[in-house]
């Protein structure tokens, strides 16, 4: 069997004395669409930072595409919860999407034809090519989210990781973004952080519930009890079926 795309084994992580992740094990296969859910401060962002190589495991091991996270990070497209640039920055949509090529060793402003073609392709894929020349500050929340998705796609990744991609958009834009993700999942493995277990259950194949410890559920198995156990603070009683 092929090696998992993301493999987390017996991972524990603390900030000082505060244990945030305890013996987390998670294996994501090629082509999966996994939702990572859990209450505030449950450790979701910390787990993403470890998978992206921004933090190092203190206990346990992470492999991404058979490599260390630091090496594999160029093969991951990341959509952050909040854009890392001010909305009033005088920069066009096209320039923002081109920034997705920087992780591939390009210098800011020194893009070649292949970079521009990748940016155009990414904007087309998220149906936002008509926005290319617009200033980033003139976009709606839903449009901005598509552009950030295009920026992640511009690096031609094999994995897409998204942190609450629809936290600041209305419901219609949220449905549109998830429709796009379902399309992208035909060729990309996706790991997505969300608070909204009910909404994402329509799209993802598996839900990983994280509240310091982690338990996985096939989407079809999720019922009221699962949600109650996760958000009612008794997540450690959920059977670890993996």
Structure tokens at 138: 């003139």
For residue 27, state whether it binds ligand ATP (rule: CB under 6 A): no
For residue 43, state whether it binds ligand ATP (rule: CB under 6 A): yes
Structure tokens at 166: 């629809």
CA–centroid distance for 115 within its chain: 23
Binding span for ligand ATP by CB under 6 A among 1-9, 36-44, 182-190, 219-227 = 36-44
For residue 213, state whether it binds ligand ATP (rule: CB under 6 A): no
The C-alpha angle with vertex 132 and arms to 130 and 133, in degrees rounded to 5, equals 110
Q: Label residue 202 exposed, middle or buried (CB < 10 Å: 0-12, 13-18, 19+).
A: exposed
The C-alpha atoms of residue 9 and residue 25 are separated, in whole angstroms, by: 5
Give the interface size with ligand ATP as a residue count (CB under 6 A): 10
Least CB distance to ligand ATP at residue 69 (A):
16
Least CB distance to ligand ATP at residue 97 (A):
26
26 closest CA partner among 37, 14, 15:
37
For residue 17, state whether it binds ligand ATP (rule: CB under 6 A): no
Rg of the chain over CA atoms, in angstroms?
A: 18
Residue indicated by tokens 């989407």: 219
Helix (H) or strand (E) run with residue 225 in it: helix 224-231
Q: Could you say which of 1, 40, 171, 172 contacts ligand ATP (CB under 6 A)?
A: 40
Q: Which is nearer to ligand ATP, 20 or 169 (CB)?
A: 20
Binders of ligand ATP in range 44-73 (CB under 6 A): 44-46
Q: Which is nearer to ligand ATP, 95 or 229 (CB)?
A: 229
Q: 3-state DSSP call for residue 74?
A: helix
Q: Which is nearer to ligand ATP, 12 or 92 (CB)?
A: 12
Least CB distance to ligand ATP at residue 197 (A):
13
215 closest CA partner among 239, 199, 233:
239
Least CB distance to ligand ATP at residue 164 (A):
7
For residue 19, state whether it binds ligand ATP (rule: CB under 6 A): no
Q: Could you say which of 7, 28, 37, 42 contacts ligand ATP (CB under 6 A)?
A: 42
HSE-CB of 47 using CA atoms within 13 angstroms: 35
Least CB distance to ligand ATP at residue 195 (A):
7
For residue 35, state whether it binds ligand ATP (rule: CB under 6 A): no
What is the binding site for ligand ATP (CB under 6 A)? 15, 20, 38, 40-46
């Amino acid at each position: 069997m092929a090696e998992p795309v993301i493999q987390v084994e017996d991972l524990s992580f603390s900030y000082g004395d505060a244990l945030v992740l305890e013996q987390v094990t998670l294996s994501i296969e090629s082509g999966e669409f996994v939702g990572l859910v859990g209450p505030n401060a449950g450790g979701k962002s910390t787990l993403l930072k470890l998978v992206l190589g921004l933090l190092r495991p203190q206990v346990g091991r992470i492999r991404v595409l058979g490599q260390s996270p630091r090496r594999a990070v160029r093969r991951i497209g990341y959509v952050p919860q909040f854009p890392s640039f001010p909305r009033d920055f005088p920069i066009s949509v096209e320039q923002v999407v081109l920034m997705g090529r920087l992780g591939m060793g390009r210098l800011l402003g020194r893009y070649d034809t292949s970079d521009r073609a990748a940016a155009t392709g990414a904007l087309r894929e998220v149906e936002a090519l008509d926005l290319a020349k617009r200033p980033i500050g003139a976009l709606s929340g839903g449009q901005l989210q598509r552009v950030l998705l295009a920026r992640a796609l511009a690096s031609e990744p094999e994995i897409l990781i998204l942190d609450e991609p629809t936290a600041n958009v209305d419901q219609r834009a949220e449905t549109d973004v998830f429709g796009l993700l379902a399309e992208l999942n035909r060729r990309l493995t996706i790991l997505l952080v969300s608070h909204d277990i009910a909404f994402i259950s329509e799209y993802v194949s598996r839900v990983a519930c994280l509240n310091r410890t982690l338990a996985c559920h096939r989407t079809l198995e999720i019922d009221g009890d699962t949600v109650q156990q996760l958000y009612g603070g008794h997540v450690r009683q959920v059977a670890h079926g993996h």
